[in-house]
Each structure stands twice: as structure tokens, then as C-alpha cells.
Amino acid sequence: MIIDCHGHYTTAPKELAAYRQTQIAGLSDPSSVPSRGTLHVSDDQIRESLENAQLRLQRERGTDVTIFSPRAAGMAHHVGNATTSLHWAQVCNELIHRCCTLYPENFVGVCQLPQSPGVAPQHCIEELERCVKDFGFVGCNLNPDPSGGYWTDPPLTDRWWYPFYEKMVELDVPAMIHVSASCNPNFHTTGGHYINGDTTAFMQLITADLFKDFPTLKFIIPHGGGAVPYHWGRYRGLAQDMGRPPLTEHLLHNVFFDTCVYHLPGIEVLLKVIPVDNILFASEMVGAVRGIDPETGHHFDDTKRYIDAIPSLSAEDRRKIFEGNARRVYSRMTTPAGRR
């Protein structure tokens, strides 16, 4: 079985965007009282939105299950306030739950959190619990920068985040550290802000002893770990200069990397540098990069091809990357799609 641990519902019916526009318009209308409102989307619309996109690509590329979450750039936690984010997260998560219910063999849910800049993350516990307990979701996407490119909240190692981590540990769910849209014009969302976010999060983790306090807390750093594998020597050296233990001991019991790296040499570096037990297969389809690579004739985000193209990987290592590690990290995967 091949589990893709990183997919977003980027093809949701247009009613979802219209819902969000209405919500945002209400923010600047003094007479509007924030209410959750209702999203009207039929099951057929959901089927249509998935059949010719994520489901077709799963079939064509030979993957089985996608760990599926709302569109990451769409989370936009900087918009409005905590109530805005709560309503938006609830609506998006309920839509993911409907996808997973319609296609239990193909999707397992991961939730968006109702984060908001300056609002303590413990505010997100209730929605996490609802998604895990009521919907059978297996993880969450945690935004290390709800401000959208201005980094106004404390680092991930700060006690600010601890109540939320306690709940993650209690529920035994991992978080993918995933920023959302950038509203800082210096940072292109997927090209700058995403990779910055991944790299910044990893460096934050080096500087503290978060996993001494939470030995079973699990994070996935997406997009191949940002710049981290390529600069592994720098991070090992910085850790050493700071008197930290070697990174394998300090972080790699708790931190994992996905394979959303869109060329073979990048995947080769990832596999050479990061232990195979810490790598989870992922493609982030559909949408981060949509085109075809003229050098290969295949989609940039068809990441299974890159793993397949590495002959030195043993069958056991390949199985770990494609399935075993995801089952270990997303340990609640017991929904139909997660069954062997």
C-alpha cells in the first residue's frame, strides 16, 4: 500500500470560496453579526471535484490513500479574528470529513485549526478533539505563523503552545507544521513562505528541549523539510555549537520529513541525509506546482517516480517510506482507508 501523507482539497466546489468571501465581507460590515452560516454543497459536487483530480491522480500514479486536509493556503489564519477562524476551520473540516466518508478507501482526514494571531493555541483544542473523536481524523496542520509572514507569535518551543501539545499527545496525533498564505509581499506563498516556514520551524526545535517535555510529540516538516536536508551540516554544526545533542538524538525521534520535493536530485539528497525511518511519502497534490517538467515529461509533483528511480533503496526501506512510517506517525490510522 502507498500512503500519501500530504494532500489538500484544492479542488473544492466553488461554493466554498463563495462562503469564505461572504465571511470576509462580513468583517468590514459593522451591521453584520459573525455567524457560521451554512455551506451548501451536494455529495455529487464533492464526487465531481475529486473524481477527475485527486482520485484520478491516485489511480494514474499508483498510490492508494491520501492523508487529506483543507487547502493550506486557504487557512489564512491572519484574516479576521478567532471566531472567523473557528467558523472557517469547522466548515473546511466538515467538508474533508464528507470526502473521507464518500471515499473511505482513498482519504483519511487531517484538520485545519482555528488559529488566529495573538490567540493562544489552546483555543484550537476543541476543534482538534471534535475532528479526531467525531470524524476519525488522524492529525492536524499546525501553522507556526498565523500572521501570514510576519511571525508575531512565539516560537513553537514556547510554553504558549504547550496546552495544545498536551492534547496532541493525549490523542496521539501528529501535526504537520504547515504555514498558510503569505500576506507579506516579500514572501511568495508556496515558493518563499512555505520553505521558510519549514526551515524556521526546524531551527526553532533545535534551540530548545521541547521533546524532553513531550517525548511522544510528533511533527512532520513538509516540503522535504524546506532547506534542512540540503543544509544538514549547518544544522548539525549549530546544534553542536549550542551544546545540543546530535540531531538524530535531539530531534529525530519526534520530527519527520515528507517527500514533497519536486525533482530527483532533491529526493536523492533527502534520502542520503535523513534516516529512512524519518521519511514519509507525500506529493502535496493537487496544486502546489501544477505543471509538467519539460526535462522529464512528467508532472513535477509526481513524487512517486523519484522514489521509484532510486535503485539503491531496499524493498524494506521503500515499504517504510511508502507505508510503514506513515502508519507509525499517524498511529490512529484505523479507518477503512488505513486498513491493510
Residues that bind Zn ion (CB under 5 A): 72, 284
* 217, amino acid identity: L
| Contact in structure between 11 and 50 (CB atoms under 8 Å) | yes
Residue nearest to Zn ion (CB): 72
Q: Which is nearer to Zn ion, 194 or 211 (CB)?
A: 194
Query: Which 8-state DSSP code applies to residue 187?
Result: S
* 206, amino acid identity: I
Q: Which is nearer to Zn ion, 72 or 108 (CB)?
A: 72
Secondary structure class of 340 (helix, strand, coil): coil
User: Helices (DSSP H) in the chain: which residue ranges?
Assistant: 14-27, 43-51, 54-61, 72-75, 82-102, 125-129, 135, 162-171, 194-207, 210-213, 232-241, 247-250, 264-273, 303-308, 315-319, 325-329
Q: Shortest approach of Zn ion to residue 281 CB, angstroms? A: 14
Which of the residues 166, 284, 295, 316 is marked catalytic? 284
Q: Shortest approach of Zn ion to residue 7 CB, angstroms? A: 8
Does 284 qualify as catalytic in the annotation? Answer: yes
Secondary structure class of 12 (helix, strand, coil): coil
Q: Which is nearer to Zn ion, 67 or 79 (CB)?
A: 67
Q: Shortest approach of Zn ion to residue 153 CB, angstroms? A: 20
Q: Shortest approach of Zn ion to residue 181 CB, angstroms? A: 12
| Contact in structure between 110 and 151 (CB atoms under 8 Å) | no
Q: Which is nearer to Zn ion, 2 or 221 (CB)?
A: 221
Q: Which is nearer to Zn ion, 111 or 239 (CB)?
A: 111
Q: Angle CA(337)–CA(216)–CA(338) in degrees, nearest 5?
A: 5
Q: Which of 221, 218, 207, 99 has the alpha carbon at shortest distance from 158?
A: 207
Q: Shortest approach of Zn ion to residue 223 CB, angstroms? A: 7
Give the active site residues.
Answer: 284
